[in-house]
Amino acid sequence: MNDNNERLPVSKFLHWVYEKPDAIFLSQPLPGGGLRDISWRQAHEQVSRVAQWLQRFPRGSRIAIYSLNCAHWILADLAIWYAGHVSVPLYPTAGNDNIRHVLEHSESVLVFVGKLHDFADKREAIPDACQMVAMHHHHDGLIDWDELVKRELPMLAPVKVDEHELATIIYTSGTTGTPKGVMHSFGNAGFVAENMVSVTQQLGLREGRFFSYLPLAHVAERCAIELAVLVLGGRIFFVESIDHFLRDMKRAQPTVFFGVPRIWLKLQQGMLAKLPEQKLQRLLQLPVLGGWFAALIRRQLGMGQVQVALSGGASIDVELINWWQRLGITILEVYGMTETLAYSHLNFPQRRGIGTVGELLPNAECQFGEDNEILLKHPGVMLGYYRDEALTNETLVDGWVHSGDLGKLDDQGRLIITGRKKELFKTEKGKYVSPVPIEQRLEQLAGFEQVCVIGTGMRQPVAIAALGDKFEDLKATLEQKLQDVLEKLNKQLDPHERLAAIVLVAEQWTTENGLLTPTLKIRRHQVESAYRDKLRKRLNEEQGIIWLSETTDFDQLDSA
CATH number at residue 281: 3.40.50.12780
CA 467-473-474 angle, to 5 degrees, is: 60
Residue 162 and residue 229 share a domain? no
**% helix / strand / coil in the chain, to the nearest 5?**
40, 20, 40
The three-class DSSP label of residue 182 is strand
The rounded distance, in Å, linking the Cα atoms of 510 and 376 is: 32
Distance CA 342, CA 258 (A): 13
Contact 352, 359 (CB under 8 A): no
List per-residue pLDDT tens for the chain, 560 residues long.
344 588 999 999 999 999 999 999 999 999 888 999 999 999 999 999 999 999 999 999 999 999 999 999 999 999 999 999 999 999 998 889 899 999 999 999 999 999 998 899 999 999 999 999 999 988 999 999 999 999 999 999 999 999 999 999 999 876 656 789 999 999 999 999 999 999 999 998 878 999 999 999 999 999 999 999 999 999 999 999 989 999 999 999 999 999 988 899 899 999 999 999 999 999 999 998 999 999 999 999 999 999 999 999 888 889 999 999 999 999 999 999 999 999 999 999 999 999 999 999 999 999 999 989 999 999 999 999 999 999 999 999 999 999 999 999 999 999 999 888 878 888 877 788 889 889 988 988 888 889 999 988 888 999 999 998 888 888 878 888 999 999 999 998 888 899 999 999 988 898 888 888 887 788 888 898 888 888 877 887 777 899 987 767 665 544 43
Residue 437, number of CB atoms within 10 A of its CB: 18
What is the rounded CA–CA span in Å between residue 128 and residue 27? 34
Determine phi and psi for 100, rounding to 5 degrees.
-65, -40
- Specify whether 238 is located in the same domain as 166: no
| Total structural domains within the chain | 3
| Nearest by Cα to 560 from 101, 216, 248, 109 | 101
Largest CA distance in the chain: 74
Range of the domain at 465: 425-556
Would you say residue 201 lies in a domain?
no
- Distances in Å between the Cα of 233 and the Cα atoms of 4, 37, 195, 236, 298 are 19, 15, 15, 10, 25
Q: Are residues 323 and 299 in the same domain?
A: yes
- Tell me: do 318 and 403 sit in the same domain: yes
Same domain, 415 and 431: no
Query: Do both 296 and 242 map to the same domain?
Result: yes
Shared domain check, 529 and 495:
yes
pTM: 0.86
Q: Which value, to the nearest 10 degrees, does the dihedral of the CA atoms of residues 402, 404, 407, 413 take?
A: -30
Q: Evaluate whether residue 489 is within a structural domain.
A: yes
Same domain, 341 and 449: no
Q: 3-state class of 242 per DSSP? A: helix
User: One-letter amino acid identity for 9?
Assistant: P
Cα–Cα distance for residue pair 501/277, rounded to 1 Å: 27
3 state SS of 456 = coil
398: in domain: yes
The CA R_g of the chain, rounded to the nearest whole Å, is 24
Contacts (Cβ under 8 Å, ≥6 apart) of 139: 113, 119, 132
Same domain as 464, residue 355: no
- The CA distance from 290 to 292, in Å, is 5
Query: In this structure, are residues 185 and 165 in contact, taking their beta carbons and an 8 Å threshold?
Result: yes
CATH of the domain at 433: 3.30.300.30
